[in-house]
Homo-oligomer: A and B are copies of this chain.
Amino acid sequence: MKQKIGFMGLGIMGIPMVANLLKAGYPVMVYNRSPEKADPLVKQGAGLASSPQALAKAADVVIAMVTGPEALNDLLWGPEGAGGAFNHSKVFINMSSVAPSYTRQLAQELTPSGVIFIDAPVSGTKKPAEDGTLLILAGGPQAKVKELEPLLLAMGKKVIYCGAAGQGSMMKMFINLLLGIMMEGFAEVLNFGRIGGLSLEAMLDTVYSGPLNCAMFQMKAPNLENKTYPTAFPLKHMTKDAKFVVDTAFEMGAPVPVGQVLVHLYRTGVAQGWGDEDVSAIARVLEYFSPKA
């Protein structure tokens, strides 16, 4: 018997994730502040809840995929919030990207209700969400994560167990810091080579032919080539995530010398008005710093 799912948050990520749950045969009820977003999913068989609390009452497993702490707090603790219907027989999975410190605080707030709390942010954006190939970074009780794996694998290709609740978010930051470094690094070296007179073609050929080659470079190279940055992962979100990482690192005393520089670089991109472009628009920042041709 498949669990009844309640899904809150129907953005770029949420809609395809629900679609994949439905395809996998899960009964899903959805809630979104703007209910019209649910229309296509309702056509595919989803139910529509009138409030987060109604959704949580009807569901075995409540999943949230929203833009950040504020939205999540509203859904959980606002009027008719889901939190009011939580109890020890239910599971709450937060798949939204938030700081580990927020997740640990959330875990404490949820404790009195008895709900089983899993934090399971994802690595991957729109396309993997549609293809069901997200990487799911799960924190919480290990046995429970194991038990929920079939459900999670309806949305992703792999579940990585990261430790207690909060460690999923920590892993998300870990991988996003690496993304931020590699994306900036790619843009930095291509800009350096360009100024030094190398052709983009030869530079990419060199990268692709050696041990530094990775799928991300191949995905982003066309943006850098065309100097257009259609948004898969917005620069402003990378900026926010980089700030999360650097703040967390500061608390722990972990040195992130490159991360610290990145915050400044990505933030400059936002300040120049490119926050809604793709993260690969960091190339614009490097060009902005360069001598004008």
Contact = CB atoms under 8 A, between A and B. Distances in A.
Interface residues of A, number: 80
Contacts of A205: 160
B196 A123 contact: no
A207 interface: yes
A256 interface: yes
A255 B170 contact: no
B263 A260 contact: yes
B170 A198 contact: yes
Interface in A151-205: 157-158, 160-163, 167, 170-171, 173-175, 177-179, 181-182, 184-186, 188-189, 191-193, 195-199, 202-203, 205
A148 to B, nearest CB: 17
Contact of A260 (B186, B195, B260, B271): B260
Question: What is the oligomeric copy number?
Answer: 4
A261 interface: yes
A143 interface: no
Contacts of A257: 188, 261, 264-265, 289
Nearest to A270: B253
Contact of A185 (B124, B178, B195): B178
Interface of A: 100, 123-124, 135, 137, 157-158, 160-163, 167, 170-171, 173-175, 177-179, 181-182, 184-186, 188-189, 191-193, 195-199, 202-203, 205-207, 209-216, 219, 243, 245, 247-250, 252-265, 267-268, 270-273, 286, 289-292
12 contacts: A163-B199, A171-B193, A174-B192, A174-B193, A175-B212, A181-B258, A182-B185, A188-B256, A192-B259, A212-B215, A213-B214, A271-B291
